Structure 1
């Protein structure tokens, strides 16, 4: 049974994020805590089993909801002013500081899922991260997608999101099986960032005026699956090229090697796929 402490994180702009802290339950605690940063539209509850398992391995773990998502949505979704840029500039830095304050550790290990592992280049306190393990992390560039997602993404980005922005005031991703519905600016920026190579760097000079990609020395490892329609090899490489001054590693998993029919973009965190968890945890070692 999982046990966690629910608490709030206050961001630099005063926005309150909902978080969970899992204290380690091991006789051999690890020195560095883990910050789990969620994928777009995915809530902290999704990572509960994985976070609990990590705590049993000796890690202190924090997972949170990005602003505008889950318990970090305050008020009607259509009124939310949350954006992906704010996730990187404000939410992740606040979560890093909160975890350091709670554990008194020197640095954190950042385990990001999809978007959660793609935004360190926006964080002004990136030097407080000892290592990044980006699960299913990539630029998500539409031309690098494959399968059903390659067909769905242009429709979602060019038709569904713009129409929904003008009518209901948010991105209706839940209806198409892609997580929680999204604040309108999250949906708009997701389409903008994935429309060209380079992901969030497409916003530099527009909504991003502090860019730390070239300053980052933190090692980054991307773990992705061969059947992932979003984090394809070409899109993983497109993300990692944004960090030219650090060590980057790519680790591709094949479902058959773990006796799974599929892993895709989401299944690595499911209890059904927990035989993959030790491999992910191993990547956190410095």
Structure 2
């Protein structure tokens, strides 16, 4: 049985985003959930979790960022999509769509990695009741650990520039880092992670409206102790950008929950469904 409706979201600049909407029948939850994906990850990755949330009574919307998955139109090498576009255009369009579908006053953003890192540049920040950031951090290279600490400089300084030059896109698929990326996304990802503050590194350069100081909705950050990207240092580096928001930190230890590992990606996998009630509990206001 199909549990969702597939359709297109039209952004302010006319770009079309592929989306999936999971309508709730009982409407027991006050705010609908917008799942914002990680860099290079498609909406299909979140399907099982979105379906489960829907069964808990939530209206849920997931989508592909421009340049990724079904929101890539044409050849990847021709895509001009950027992380700026994701925060300035894509997420606001998804918010408006979800509000129109549900007639709710606000949405709750459940953002995975990059999907939970862009509220401060989102012009519709006042339509967000809460953010639950899963593995959300600045990804600052100095705060990384394990193999990723060694891989990231190679990816940012060698693989991205070389693949962008010769192929026209940031090659990530062959190293298991999600879909290959539009060249501007790859370039910004490298720039944003090279210094503390992530998207703050674009303020005054390619982004001119900064809402971080204005945001006062609750922000919960959930990450795993074995996550090599969203380490405690990088999680705190992100949350410090919201001085007027109430922030809550939850670190999950894999062994305490019966898992060998959780890492950066596994919280949304069916194999880790025992963690889902923890995530859902943080959606409550």
User: What TM-score do the two structures reach when normalised by structure 2?
Assistant: 0.99
Across the aligned residues of Structure 1 and Structure 2, the Cα RMSD in angstroms comes to 0.8
Cα deviation, residue 29, structure 1:
2.2
CA contact 1:2–1:52 (8 Å) conserved in 2: no
Q: How does 1:124-135 map to 2 (within 5 A)?
A: 124-135=123-134
Q: 1:28, CA displacement in angstroms?
A: 5.8
Q: How does 1:1-286 map to 2 (within 5 A)?
A: 3-25=3-25, 27=26, 29-286=28-285
Conserved 8 A contact 1:38-1:114: yes
The separation in 1 between residues aligned to 2:126 and 2:16, in whole angstroms, is 23
Q: Give secondary structure in 2 for the equivalent of 1:55.
A: helix
- Give the CA deviation at 1:2: 5.2
2 CA distance for matches of 1:256 and 1:108?
33
What is the Cα deviation at residue 164 of structure 1?
Answer: 1.2
1:216 and 1:78 map into 2 onto residues whose CA distance is: 36
Q: Does the Cα contact within 8 Å between 2:27 and 2:59 map onto a contact in 1?
A: no
8 Å CA contact 2:129, 2:217 repeated in 1: yes
1: CA distance, partners of 2:161 / 2:243:
34
Superimposed CA distance per residue, residues 131-180 of structure 1 (whole angstroms, 9 cap, x where no aligned partner): 00000000000000000100000000001111111110001100100000
Map Cα deviations across residues 97-124 of structure 1 (whole Å, 9 max, x no partner). 0000000001101000000000001110
TM-score in terms of structure 1 length:
0.98
Query: Shift of residue 52 of structure 1?
Result: 0.1
Retained in 1: the 8 A contact 2:27–2:58?
Answer: no
**Mapped contact 1:111–1:134 kept (Cα < 8 A):** yes
Give 3-state SS (helix, strand or coil) of 1:36's partner: strand
Secondary structure, counterpart of 2:161 in structure 1 = helix
State how many pairs are aligned.
Answer: 285
- Aligned partners of 1:48 and 1:257: how far apart in 2? 26
**Which consecutive residues of structure 1, in runs of 5 or more, have no partner in the other structure?**
none
- Structure 2 unaligned residues grouped into runs of 5+: none
- For 1:131 and 1:35, how far apart are their aligned partners in 2? 11
> Which consecutive aligned stretches of 4+ in structure 1 deviate over 4 angstroms post-superposition?
none
Of stretches 158-167 and 264-273 in structure 1, the one that deviates more from structure 2 is 158-167
Partner of 2:8: helix, strand, or coil?
Answer: strand
SS of the counterpart of 1:227?
Answer: coil
SS of the counterpart of 1:188?
helix
Q: In the aligned structure 1, how far is the partner of 2:245 from the partner of 2:176?
A: 35
Does the aligned pair in 1 maintain the 2:108–2:283 contact within 8 Å?
yes
User: Does the 8 Å CA contact 1:139/1:198 hold for their aligned counterparts?
Assistant: yes
